Structure 1
Amino acid sequence: MKRKSMDGATCPVARSLDVIGDWWTLLIVRDAFDGMRRFGEFQRSLDISKGILSTRLKALVDAGIFALVAPEDGGAHHDYVLTEKGRALFPVVVGLRQWGEAHCFEPGESHSVLVEKKTGRAIRPLCLESASGQPLSDTDTEVRKVDSSASRARLARRG
């Protein structure tokens, strides 16, 4: 079944899922945050077929999430390195991790945990905050449509 493209959707969640909504994609990005750069590293970590991995990596490069760079060791193969756009997915991956820690494990069940390198301590749960720094929940927010002509005018003044 062919997947429907959401690249023209007015919803930012739909457009984001069009780029990163495949579960292999976020696992590849997760592994990149863990320091993986080579095709073989991703394949071994994920136990994914070469064809699926190749397709997903190409899509991530095409979307500007990864860049292909010559390896530091001068090898024949290239490395996949997260771009600024790719590194901006860090809070998304952390949010999924924290949700999984809270809702996908039984009490006392072993799992990995994200820690700060400097201290070795687990990071605090992500928290959405208002412009004034107050914590926000789903009941404190609403979605409003942005008028595209006003958006274009704002972008023109910035650029």
Structure 2
Amino acid sequence: MQQSTYDPCLLTTVKRGDCFGIVGLQTDDTLTLGNLPFADKEEELQKAKFLAKPREQLTHTHPIKFNGGMIKLADPEANTISLTQERQCQDLQPVNVKQPTDITSSRGVIRNIVTPKDQYVAQRAKGAYIATICQPIIRQQPRSLIANGFRGKERT
């Protein structure tokens, strides 16, 4: 696989016959898009006892939860994919500038007596995360992949 020149956490397969895949890395989560030959190679990692969650297949009737978001095949006609970060957006809270307060992380961990400065840093990080995930340019990538010949195959 080859690292993207514009995002070090995005890897793509180098031309090898009919095997095609894209892997996105985010902290301790991995999101993979690939055709059947690529998926078969991924199964070799499971045989090698590589620790990973079971693979799920995104279909029109089966959305996938990923890193606090929901990935859906939005429009079957246009072959578009949507990622909503509703939970992340709901976790945004106003900063209490007058006094330290308790805040809860997106994973449910409570931090006690957090200063206004640290509240701001935490909320700013959440906002930056949401803005990074929801980049319009990223939403256009699947459409260009389809236009360039990748159609994917349903696995039975």
What TM-score range do you get, normalising by the shorter chain? Answer: under 0.3
Q: Taking structure 1 as the reference length, what is the TM-score of the superposition?
A: 0.25
With normalisation by structure 2, the TM-score equals: 0.26
Structure with the larger helix share: 1
